[in-house]
Structure 1
Amino acid sequence: MKATRYYGKHDIRTDDIPEPVVSAGYVKVRNEWTGICGTDLHEYDDGPMFCPAPGATHPLTGMSLPIVLGHEIAGVVAEIGEGVTKVQVGDRVAVEPYVVCNECEFCLAGRYNICTKAAFLGLSAGSGGFAEYSVAEERFVHPLGDLSTEVGALVEPLAVAHHAIVRSGVQPGQTAAVIGAGPIGLFVTAILRAIGVETIYNVEISAIRKAKAQASGSTLVIDPTQENAVAKIHELTGGRGVDVAFEAVGASPALQTAIDVTKTGGNVVNISIWSHKAEIDLFGLVAREVTLIGTLAYCNDHTAVIKLLQEGKLKDVEQYITGRISAKDVIEKGLEQLIHNKEENVKILVHP
């Protein structure tokens, strides 16, 4: 089968490789659409980060470069292994792209996203989505029902946003701030609105992304180049600040803003993957007992996201699909577009 593989920084090639083989307890998926993630951009432009380093192998999967890219996977079940009952051949599904050890203290506690040996399809395990077929463990293959596989390809990044929201502890009727209106910031905004968060302030400088934040359910979008976002949010909340804030930029000023707009005793969730050290003033965080929370990927979030989509609470998600390309064009029309024209794009989907 054709597969688009990562060999190292700025080195991606399309190869002919054998189809993956399905075994007991596993599902073979004919990939239809796979989203390009910010993590893929980091791998391409800065990496390897999650992919194994040249000459190294992953401790759980034994995989080494080259790796088939793509982990925001949706497709149709092509074959099921012995003992599989969750799905049937022909079902549309979204793939949760984990390979975990099932033995460490975190797996045993149900927090498999922080498995000490965790690997991801499309990064450190085989069967990435930029190929004709993927194979995943049954529990990580989620039926989409009547949802399209284009929408299905958005489930994985929506699950990232959903997990961050769960980690925040936010409740319906509370207030939130989302710093940054890239893909994850937009998805956080949309899900906050879907679960009944009453007031959502977004902080963003791009005119295009400000409009997208409004379309996602923002109460007000504040441009920090035009006014002081911290002062404005404190004014709007009577000096109290928001109950929770989400940092979705990966820059120190954004994280500082998230801390500064949060109420005393409130929660800040850092979603971004950082490739450099953050520089923030911790005095305000300590003096006001603000809790800074890390969040990684997702854990038992895919089903909840699919339910929100099926019930119509999470609406109009097709608006986030800003491009559809073939795997052979993933560099020029995908990765390079998202790096150099990121303001105009949210999600570019790849068809193998």
Structure 2
Amino acid sequence: MRAARYYGNKDIRIEEIDEPTAGAGEVLIDVAFCGICGTDLHEYLDGPIFCPTPDTPTSWTGETAPVTLGHEFSGVVAALGEGITDLEVGDTVVVEPYILKDGTDTGPDSTDYHLSEGMNFIGLGGGGGGLAEKLAVRRRWVHKIDPSIPLDQAALIEPLAVAYHGVQRSGAKAGDIAVIGGAGPIGLLTGAVLRALGVTVVISELSSLRRQKALDSGAADHALDPAAVDVAQEVHDLTGGKGADIAFEATSVQAVLDTLMDALRPTGVLLNISIWGHRSDFDMHKLVMKEIDLRGSIGYVNNHPAVIELVESGKIDLAPFITGRIQLEDLIDKGFDTLIHRNETAVKILVSPSGKGVDPA
């Protein structure tokens, strides 16, 4: 089968590899669509980070480079390993793509397995990946979805779970006013979750195309251009001088973080959902004087069932966030290059390893 294999910095190759089989307790999945994540771009440009080197594994799989990429994917059950009786061949599924140390408590009451020692992701640290025609995954990480959900939209359930967990960490509730810094995929999906909960959303974004996408997709009530207006002042005006209840940093840009701090009301919550590759020059005095509650968020933990319910119930429509469907061989030219050099034109580009369901050339 074909797969996108990560060898190292700016070295991803489409290769033929052996098809996997489903071992005991595993599910073999025919991949339908796999999204390109910002983390994949970081690995391509600046990595390896989560990915291993040819000499050093980074996950409990013990694999070294090359590894198959892709952790935002949907598909159809192709085969079931020994011991699995609660799924059937033909079921449509998504995957919670964790690689954890054996023995980690991943039960329904766990709130911290995503923070366990050596946590990594399928499609980054090994374990196969969604940028291949098939992969085998432990039953624990496979989530069945209703067949009424199109498989291209289902591929966005993983990043939507990232947004959902961030919102959960923030403590947002109906009637709150939230400001989001950045209308990239996670910023937009965070807005979608917030609005589904009854929160008023203000997004700050430099790109006019992304501001319009925030409004058209229903991810925001207001979209502000930080180059044209004082975002903090606009937020204070919208809230009768009070300031936002919650702010979400989704850019890893210092100026955005500073703006969000100014836009928050005293005792507000600042939730960082972006990955920073550098240290922040954070204004601790302002945090103290406003008694701001600063929180971080990574991944998801037992969030997929609630996220899937949001999509199946129609409370969140993922279709507007899909801006391209490409074939595996076009991964770099039409996928990575677009997201690196023309990212204002794209939100989520999906890859079809089989070549089915791609957009016309």
> TM-score normalized by structure 1?
0.96
- Can you list the C-alpha shifts for 1:285-315, whole angstroms capped at 9, x where unaligned? 1222111111111111221111111111112
Map of 1:342 onto structure 2: 343
Amino acid at match of 1:22: A
Aligned residues of 1:163 and 1:295 also touching (Cα < 8 A): yes
Cα gap change, 1:53/1:262 in structure 2, threshold over 3 Å: closer, same or farther? farther
Cα gap change, 1:85/1:288 in structure 2, threshold over 3 Å: closer, same or farther? farther
Q: Does 1:80 align with 2:80?
A: yes
Map of 1:186 onto structure 2: 188
Tell me, in whole angstroms, the C-alpha distance in 1 between the residues paired with 2:265 and 2:85: 47
Gaps of 5+ in 1: none
Map of 2:89 onto structure 1: 89
- SS of 1:65's equivalent? coil
1:252 aligns with one of 222, 240, 254 = 254
State the Cα distance separating 1:195 from its structure 2 match: 1.5
Map of 1:233 onto structure 2: 235
- Can you list the C-alpha shifts for 1:140-199, whole angstroms capped at 9, x where unaligned? 1111112111011010111111010000000111111111101111101111111211x2
State the Cα distance separating 1:102 from its structure 2 match: 4.8
Map of 1:51 onto structure 2: 51
Aligned residues of 2:110 and 2:301 also touching (Cα < 8 A): no
Number of corresponding residues: 350
User: 1:1-352 to 2 correspondence within 5 Å?
Assistant: 1-103=1-103, 109-145=110-146, 146-197=148-199, 199-217=200-218, 218-315=220-317, 317-352=318-353
- SS of 1:28's equivalent? strand
Aligned residues of 2:95 and 2:142 also touching (Cα < 8 A): yes
Tell me, in whole angstroms, the C-alpha distance in 2 between the residues paired with 1:204 and 1:73: 27
Amino acid at match of 2:328: A
- Can you list the C-alpha shifts for 1:181-236, whole angstroms capped at 9, x where unaligned? 01111101111111211x21111111100101112331211111111111111122
State the Cα distance separating 1:109 from its structure 2 match: 4.2
Tell me, in whole angstroms, the C-alpha distance in 1 between the residues paired with 2:352 and 2:213: 25
State the Cα distance separating 1:103 from its structure 2 match: 3.5
Structure 1 runs (4+) greater than 6 angstroms displaced: 105-108
Aligned residues of 2:59 and 2:125 also touching (Cα < 8 A): no
Tell me, in whole angstroms, the C-alpha distance in 2 between the residues paired with 1:326 and 1:349: 9
Amino acid at match of 1:320: F
Tell me, in whole angstroms, the C-alpha distance in 2 between the residues paired with 1:307 and 1:13: 36
Tell me, in whole angstroms, the C-alpha distance in 2 between the residues paired with 1:110 and 1:223: 37
Tell me, in whole angstroms, the C-alpha distance in 2 between the residues paired with 1:167 and 1:85: 34
Cα gap change, 1:340/1:119 in structure 2, threshold over 3 Å: closer, same or farther? same
Tell me, in whole angstroms, the C-alpha distance in 2 between the residues paired with 1:314 and 1:44: 31
| Aligned-pair identity (%) | 45
Tell me, in whole angstroms, the C-alpha distance in 2 between the residues paired with 1:347 and 1:118: 25
Tell me, in whole angstroms, the C-alpha distance in 1 between the residues paired with 2:85 and 2:38: 33
Cα gap change, 1:318/1:109 in structure 2, threshold over 3 Å: closer, same or farther? closer
Gaps of 5+ in 2: 354-361
Over the aligned positions, Cα root-mean-square deviation in angstroms equals 1.5
Aligned residues of 1:106 and 1:115 also touching (Cα < 8 A): no
- SS of 1:177's equivalent? strand
Tell me, in whole angstroms, the C-alpha distance in 1 between the residues paired with 2:58 and 2:280: 28
> TM-score normalized by structure 2?
0.93
Cα gap change, 1:80/1:104 in structure 2, threshold over 3 Å: closer, same or farther? closer
- SS of 1:312's equivalent? coil
Aligned residues of 1:230 and 1:257 also touching (Cα < 8 A): yes
